Structure 1
Amino acid sequence: MKTNLFYISFLLVALSTYSIVSGDASPDAVRDMDGDILRAGVHYYILPGFRGMGGGVTLGSTRNESCPLDVVQETFETDNGNLPLTFTMVDPKKGVIRESTDLNIEFNGATICIQSLVWKLNNYDGEYVVSTRGVKGNPGAETLESWFKIEKYLNNYKFVFCPTVCDFCRPRCGDIGISIKNGVRRLVISDEPFMITFLKV
């Protein structure tokens, strides 16, 4: 009887130790171009991962009307973008931005359009365009279009739209790349990812 109790106790300790050791580790932290960890609420510019591939990410009026504003890339490499951005995780108490986790992306500043500057995926002109007017927080089916991810891509990063904030939703997933129309470089779901890096303001 004592032998059986010993083996049972040993087995329970071994299993609990295994579950702790083999538990899912947190995804890697995203790092800026200086190697520092990206943090929620801190202002960054989003720049191309390769030199000579245009400038930073900003807002632009790409439709037949002034508003809404879509997310575009500056044409010239010397332009970082006119507005910095911040990132917010599903759990706003978490300060470190990690790879492959849902987050809101928001421009910080004032524009001519009275609207939210949170990123949102929008079906327009035959493409899934990254626009604004998204909802910050409140993860779920109603805010599905407002959640993006940062994933490792070669030696830098890329944006991905494939939110997991809704268990029963089946969103259209894809990498975020660049679509050039009439000289405007819009961010859209694309087969060719837009390689990016982050510059702390």
Structure 2
Amino acid sequence: MLRFTASLSFIWLLMATSTMAQTWPAVLDADGQPLRSGVEYYVLPAATDTAGGLTLVNLNNGSICPLFVGQEPLAPVVSSGTTVIFTPRVTDTVIRETRDFTVAFTGFTICAQSTAWMVGEKNPETGRRYILTGMNPTPSSNAWHFNIVKNDQGLYNFQWCPNCLTGVCPKPLCGDAGIVVENERRLLVLDGPSFPFIFRRA
């Protein structure tokens, strides 16, 4: 009886995995391979002549911390930025389109704080929500659950529009992530034109 139950559980797992793959296709990296959980990637602009990869940015507004998510500037030698690791919100081995995940830069910073991305409060002056690091939201918080969507050109955009798994969380004010330039720094923010990215395995 125990062996029969185990077999049924295995069959159910295979069916669930197959259904998930058909419903939510995998996000593909620059080599056409599925974006995998726990693997380091560079997040690069889809248009290579715009700037470099995503990295940690100091706004230099009187305080070093927290650090914001920004983009390396266009320079004679363009930097690929800092690698990130994606972690699906639900158990899976790959990152799938429109499905929630958390994302964090690898390594340590001078702030000795979390490097996980999080949506900040709306800035009263600019009306934008900046994507920053250094916070420690609870696992159930929607503030650090992002997803990736494919645009009309077949390129990938970051989006913040968390799926509610508990059935009791309020619907967030969704937004696409784009790049804005402030004080000569390129910052990743919501509530603006979306910016397409590609993902290259480190």
**Alignment TM-score, normalising by the size of structure 1:** 0.81
The Cα shift of 1:137 comes to 7.5
| CA distance in structure 1 between the partners assigned to 2:135 and 2:97 by the alignment | 21
Q: Which runs of 5+ in 1 are unaligned?
A: 1-19
The Cα shift of 1:76 comes to 1.9
2:36 alignment counterpart: 39
- What are the residue-to-residue correspondences of 1:86-125 with 2, within 5 Å? 86-91=85-90, 93-123=91-121, 124=123
> Alignment partner of 2:143: what SS?
helix
Q: Which runs of 5+ in 2 are unaligned?
A: 1-15
- What are the residue-to-residue correspondences of 1:1-201 with 2, within 5 Å? 25-64=22-61, 65-76=63-74, 78-81=78-81, 83-91=82-90, 93-123=91-121, 124=123, 126=126, 127-135=128-136, 138=139, 140=140, 143-153=141-151, 154-165=153-164, 167=167, 168-201=169-202
> Alignment partner of 2:47: what SS?
coil
Matched residue type, 1:61 = N
Greater CA radius of gyration, 1 or 2? 1
After superposition, what is the alpha-carbon deviation per residue over 1:112-139, rounded to whole angstroms, capped at 9, x for unaligned?
001111000002453200001344772x
The runs of at least 4 aligned residues of structure 1 exceeding 6 Å deviation read: none
| CA distance in structure 1 between the partners assigned to 2:89 and 2:163 by the alignment | 10
**Alignment TM-score, normalising by the size of structure 2:** 0.80
Conserved 8 A contact 1:134-1:146: no
Conserved 8 A contact 1:88-1:104: yes
Q: Give the fraction of aligned pairs with identical amino acids, expressed as a percent.
A: 34
Number of residues of Structure 1 aligned to a counterpart in Structure 2 = 175
The Cα shift of 1:190 comes to 3.0
Structure 1 pair 63/129, CA: closer, same or farther in 2 (3 Å)? farther
Conserved 8 A contact 2:111-2:134: no
After superposition, what is the alpha-carbon deviation per residue over 1:32-58, rounded to whole angstroms, capped at 9, x for unaligned?
111011000000000001121111000
Conserved 8 A contact 1:130-1:187: yes
Conserved 8 A contact 1:104-1:136: no
> Alignment partner of 2:142: what SS?
helix
| CA distance in structure 1 between the partners assigned to 2:138 and 2:116 by the alignment | 10
| CA distance in structure 1 between the partners assigned to 2:59 and 2:40 by the alignment | 25
After superposition, what is the alpha-carbon deviation per residue over 1:5-59, rounded to whole angstroms, capped at 9, x for unaligned?
xxxxxxxxxxxxxxx9xx7743010001110110000000000011211110000
Matched residue type, 1:52 = D
The Cα shift of 1:177 comes to 0.4
Conserved 8 A contact 1:134-1:145: no
| CA distance in structure 1 between the partners assigned to 2:134 and 2:173 by the alignment | 19
> Alignment partner of 1:145: what SS?
helix
The Cα shift of 1:171 comes to 1.1
| CA distance in structure 1 between the partners assigned to 2:84 and 2:137 by the alignment | 13
